[in-house]
Structure formats: structure tokens, C-alpha cells
Structure 1
Amino acid sequence: MKVAYVFATAGQTIDYVLGEMILPQLESGTHGAEVVGMFFFHDNTYALREGDPIGERLADVASDQELLLMLCDQCAKKRGLAASDHTDDAGREHFEATNTVEPATVGCFPDLYAALGDVGVDQVITL
């Protein structure tokens, strides 16, 4: 089964649920599902800052397992983790990740759908 996580809830979601539950399982190969993407909202975007211990671990897992790490573009912009890259013909502003771990990207739902569209996600889990 292929799953994608959306981290939308503030509080201990990142430190506890991701950092102490999901991430160790991904690192050890015992999670039980293939995680193909993670999308971060609000202050959860800080987890993907350069130098953040959870972000650095996620970056390693993402590189090894071809896992998409995406920050909400507007959330990242407000927190200094994204800068305007260009505006498309439809007037939509696009952003580039700044001060984040590699391979983190930023985007909005259309970008998330495009990035995961061909992967075949079976379940989206919002935490």
C-alpha cells in the first residue's frame, strides 16, 4: 500500500508522531506501508529547516526511498522557508524552497497532485 501524509495539526504531531513513531519505522524499514509523500502545513514546515534534526533525518529517508517532501508554499513563505521564484501566465506565484533540507520542495495542492499523480497513492493520512 502506498500512503501520503499531510501534517496539518499543530502541537506534538511533528516531534512525537513523526519524530518518534513514523520516522524510526521508515528508517528501519518496518513502517508497513510505502510512504511516497509528506506535505507540511503551518508551523510543521519548520521540521524541514536546514539543520533541524527531524528534517535532516527525513532528508536521508527521502533520498533513500524516493519520498516527496513538500511544504505548503504560503506557509513556508510566511516562515522564511520559501521565496518567490516566478509568476506564471495565469498570475499564480510559484516559490522555491530556501533554508530547507534537500530534497524539500514547496507548492500548493495542484503541485502536490501533480507530483503524486503517477505514483498511485492508495491512502492519504492527515495528522
Structure 2
Amino acid sequence: MWSVGVIIYLLLSGSVPFSGESQLEIFRNILYGTFDFPDRIWTNVSEDAKKLIQNLLVKNPDCRYTVHDALSSPWINAEGEKLQRNDLSGSIREIRKFNARMKLKGAILAVKAVRAFDIDHITSSISRTESPIEDLGSF
């Protein structure tokens, strides 16, 4: 259910709930369950949606919303005519930025991986090794 909270947070805001200036800070925020709802993004999101997310992102699984709790939440059960029609274009922009950051991060990781493996060394090592089938000889 914790993952569902992360996904709802991401879909409504375009950002991840646990952020930080470094990997260590991000991990620490995840570990301690530290997140917030910045006004610049969350102003147009209902309190019921925020409450659902808060109850899904509870660190202790015993205190976290269950599937039944989540499906019974006012935000999930709101009737169509009672739903607020809020402008979430800011969230859409943030999702696009998040997607672009993930693509860039993937490209950077690919470059790092290529650098980490000396292709020439790997190629020469492969060509120098004998085939295991050749080592078997004849029976």
C-alpha cells in the first residue's frame, strides 16, 4: 500500500514524495517517512487526497492504510458531481519534467556503465578464453 501512496503522490504532483539534495538525504527521508505537500504544487489538490496519501505513506505497516481503508477513503468514494474541478496543469508540467529527468539520469547511468567496463579489455578477455566445449575433448 505504501507504493500506492507513492504512485498517487507522483500522479497528483508530478514529483516523488521523498526528495533530497543527495542520495543519502533521499534515503533518510524514505527511512523516516519525511515528506510534505509543497504549496506551489499541492494548492489545487483536495485535502481528502492528501489525507489518503498521508495514511498510505505511514512508515509502520501496522498503522498504514489497508486496501479496505484506502478504498473506503472519501477521496476514492467521492461522487462525480461533488468532485472539485481543479487545475492540475502544474502537476502535468512536473510529470513531464520528472520524465525528462529520468531519461537524462538513464543516459548518464548508461555512460557511467560504459566507462566502468573497459570494452577493449572485455573484448580481449573474451577472445582469449577457450570455449568450454573445446575443453571437454572427446569421450
Q: TM-score normalized by structure 2?
A: 0.23
More strand by share: 1
Q: TM-score normalized by structure 1?
A: 0.24
More helix by share: 2
